[in-house]
Chains A and B, each alone.
Chain A
């Protein structure tokens, strides 16, 4: 199908075009800027939805390729954009969340300076994310992965004060260091086994190469996953993530839910499932160490989250922990586990973005940055608090939220897999999740403010605070999704069903 072949390219270019329109717009044309942004986000969503039936139901794989890097004499390595179910899964997530985050960001940044720059880089960031999701081989993935590092730097540094710049510099150091490791891994693998096209069940050339020289294959795997582990904040490569919390709330939301952190884990999923192939990776013996690292990250992240007093920092460490569920799922070597890991890509995204939207709302409307500031917020900002509660329940894994589905699926996977002890990790981490989220939820609804001495002030403070609509609506939407996805998990085209389909492909 010729039309479909152009769609992946169109999706990448769409965001670039949006960025190109937005950059030169003067600050005062807020209406036009918002219109361009929203139009771009909507078109993108429609295009992604149009791709779902042919790709998932008919098994089509639209592909766009252009020669890129010369090789010594042989055929040039191409930039390949290809749509497979996993790609579509990730692109769908980014399309939905981009739309919501754009609405949120328009409300959040209203009246502040440098909006054109912000939204320009924001669009480029989405272009890079779409590129990552549609990448058809490691080279293409690398190109967009590096691009993502570059375009998120100005977003993290957006406020332009010393603290932001410092955090951005730290982020850049980590991300570029990881990028170099990935680059070396990709160059090496390409030299040994050709351009490593992503294929369900692993690339044939790579499998052959792994038999030929298993040691080198393991080293390359370590380089690739180590580099990707920086962005996915695997312990001990996670320090940049809590520091990057100084960025504006929509940026944090996007970074944690779809863009940077997710790009890292998405890359790990690709390397394990589509480059090496799960069977080959298992035979090489690289899955178990990675599983252990993921388990350590899950527990350590939760433990650190428990110790934080700032809302955003607690959420950051919670991300460190939660994202590793994906790695945990794909490395436990069972079909149900892989499905659980892949579905958590989406579930974690919508739950975490809800929490970040709410944290931003609390900070904007009440000036609440610390967890202690949230006492009694349930009465003053009921809708926000409700959305936060849904997100927090999801993170803990209570039914009927999306988080429950993920953890259930992961638990099933652990029992099927050769590593039943992973179930213990899941239980401990859920307990820790409950330990750091439930007190927040409790103080939201049942906490009392302490400053009784100033009684008139208190009376005033107890009044309802205005919750800005542009900020609240996206938060309520994602909270709604968290519930819907949890309730309708077994309907066709639900994330769980699609991820089961993907997992079948991986193990075929």
Chain B
């Protein structure tokens, strides 16, 4: 067993082990173990990434059960990219939560609500284990199981926010379970046709198939289920209350990472499991149209918010739209252009990765301000920037990434999407991207500009209490994500090379 193979298994199991251990530890020790585990995971990511970058495809069969039945872990370009970004965001958020424990929620002690929920640590590590397993899974059933793990822990994480977060969490639970069930139904249909769960074998079986009706139905079921979990418009209603009611350390995880898990499964299904089916074009077009609607409607709704966290959450809805905008370009049609499809695919991944980093930073910053000022009403946050220049700078950097301005992966992604759209002569994509960019500039400005205001209100604002050292360190976490947003912008070309490793063409 090579180091990379060992790491594949460890990436899924170490966080699970960490989650189990933190459950029996006293509270301060949970934080320490959480930080150690997160660093360990980041360390384990390195050999997998190195091996994939050098062009290998590490593979591990757990328990010795071979393909149709067994548990296959596979590392390829897509997995490596998302493992990397999850480590980066995960370690940063773990550090933030460890330094500012009150950001992990509130719990009801015998007397009152106490800030800082110890349940955060096992849940977050469990969620991380699920995320890694989603990226690495080589078969449909494992995808389902890991996705379920991610979804359920995420729901519980939302509920840590105290009484006001229980209703959004319950709503999220219904959607997550319903989405999983539809996905599972789709998987069941596929297995009834192909007789295998393995992604590559499924593709092989389907390619020889005459009648595409059943696989098409299965793909539709899986797509709708996953779209619910990703929160594609019009299935986005659960996202905004859940992401904005969640505790400060949880919102960035949800918005940055959790919805990406469902997105990765979506890409795996469309690009790996199912070959281009007759009649699947309308589905792709449907997704493209919903994506365009998401970009525009999500941005307009973001523009109408008065509170910072819902604004950031609606911006996620808009960003999700961009990823689906690429679906009509994603399938190599009969006039071929695998190049074109690879451009669109690279664009989607670049935008999703850029979004993971930038949105995690922005949500952390919004949560930080909410914790500190007691509210995230934008009118009450006027002038808050005066005490937190580093935070504002970091938010600006994250905003660059979300707007898709250079230098950021958001820019690379939009570039690839736009060039693929021009090559395919789908001009409407360009229009949507341009309109979305302008709208997002408007809502970002609306969110950040009041913080810069130096009105007299700033003097008697409730935030006048001195900023503690811990809070300064917390600001550094946001700065790390902001700087990462900009620096990863230089990796666009490398990212697209990396995605070629183990891609389906």
Are A117 and B441 touching (Cβ within 8 A)? no
B209 sits at the interface (CB 8 A): no
Shortest Cβ distance from residue B80 to the other chain A in the assembled complex, whole angstroms: 16
Contact with B along A135-161 (1 / 0, CB 8 A): 000000011001100100010010111
- A431 in contact (CB, < 8 A): no
* Nearest Cβ on chain B to A117's Cβ, whole angstroms: 5
A116 near B422 with CB under 8 A, answer no
Would you call B416 and A70 a contact (CB within 8 A)? Answer: yes
Structural contact, B343 and A154, CB atoms closer than 8 A: no
Contact A160 B405 (CB under 8 A): no
Residue in B340, B415, B416, B494 with the greatest tally of chain A CB atoms within 10 Å = B415
Q: Are B406 and A147 in contact (CB under 8 A)?
A: yes
CA distance A79 to B489 in the complex (A): 11
Residues B389 and A159 in contact, CB atoms below 8 Å apart: no
Residues of A close to B449: CB separation below 8 A: 157, 165, 168-169
Closest-CB distance, A186 to chain B (whole angstroms)? 9
Instruction: Tell me the total A-B contact number using a CB cutoff of 8 A.
Output: 101
Q: Which of B18-26, B41-49, B451-459 contacts A (4 or more CB under 8 A)?
A: B451-459
| Contact between chains at A69 and B493 (CB < 8 Å) | yes
The yes or no answer to A31 lying at the interface (CB within 8 A) is no
Q: Is B271 an interface residue (CB 8 A)?
A: no
Contact in complex: B406, A24 (CB < 8 Å): no
Asked whether, in the complex, the Cβ of A184 is within 8 Å of the Cβ of B430, the reply is: yes
0/1 per residue, B307-345, Cβ < 8 Å to A?
A: 000000000000000000000000000000001101100
Q: Is the CB of A187 within 8 A of B454?
A: no
- Whether A23 pairs with B454 at a CB distance below 8 angstroms is no
Verify A71–B490 contact, CB threshold 8 A: no
Mark out the residues of chain A between 167 and 195 whose CB falls within 8 Å of any chain B CB in the assembled complex: 168-169, 172, 176-177, 179-180, 183-184, 187-188, 190-191
B438 and A70 contacting across the interface, CB-CB below 8 Å: no
| Closest A residue by C-beta to B389 | A117
Question: Size class of A's contact patch?
Answer: 35 or more
What 0/1 readout, one digit per residue, does chain A (118-149) give for beta carbons within 8 Å of chain B? Answer: 00100000000000000000000011001100
- Docked-complex contact B389 and A116, CB < 8 angstroms: yes
Choose one: B389, B396, B455; the contact of A160 (CB below 8 Å): B455
User: How many residues belonging to B are interface residues under a CB distance threshold of 8 Å?
Assistant: 41
State the Cβ distance, A43 to closest chain B Cβ, in Å: 23
Within 8 A of A (CB), among B148-188: none
CB distance from B354 to the nearest CB of A (A): 13
Q: Name B's interface SS.
A: helix
Q: Which of B396, B407, B455, B493 contacts A67 (CB 8 A)?
A: B493
B residues in contact with A161, CB < 8 Å:
453-455
- Chain A 20-36 interface 0/1 with B at a Cβ cutoff of 8 Å (1 = within): 00011000000000000
A289 at the interface (CB under 8 A from B): no
A192–B449 Cα gap in the complex (Å)? 38
Bound together, the chains give a CA A67 to CA B438 distance in angstroms of 27
Chain A residues near B393: list those with CB within 8 A: 23, 120
Q: Give A contacts to B, CB under 8 Å.
A: 23-24, 66-73, 76, 79, 113-114, 116-117, 120, 142-143, 146-147, 150, 154, 157, 159-162, 165, 168-169, 172, 176-177, 179-180, 183-184, 187-188, 190-191
- A-B pairs with the 9 shortest C-beta distances? A160-B454, A70-B496, A76-B493, A143-B406, A72-B339, A67-B493, A72-B343, A73-B339, A191-B422
**24 intermolecular pairs with C-beta atoms under 8 Å apart:** A66-B490, A68-B412, A69-B412, A69-B415, A69-B416, A69-B492, A70-B495, A72-B340, A72-B423, A114-B389, A147-B405, A150-B396, A150-B400, A154-B396, A160-B453, A160-B455, A161-B454, A169-B449, A176-B437, A180-B437, A187-B419, A191-B419, A191-B422, A191-B423
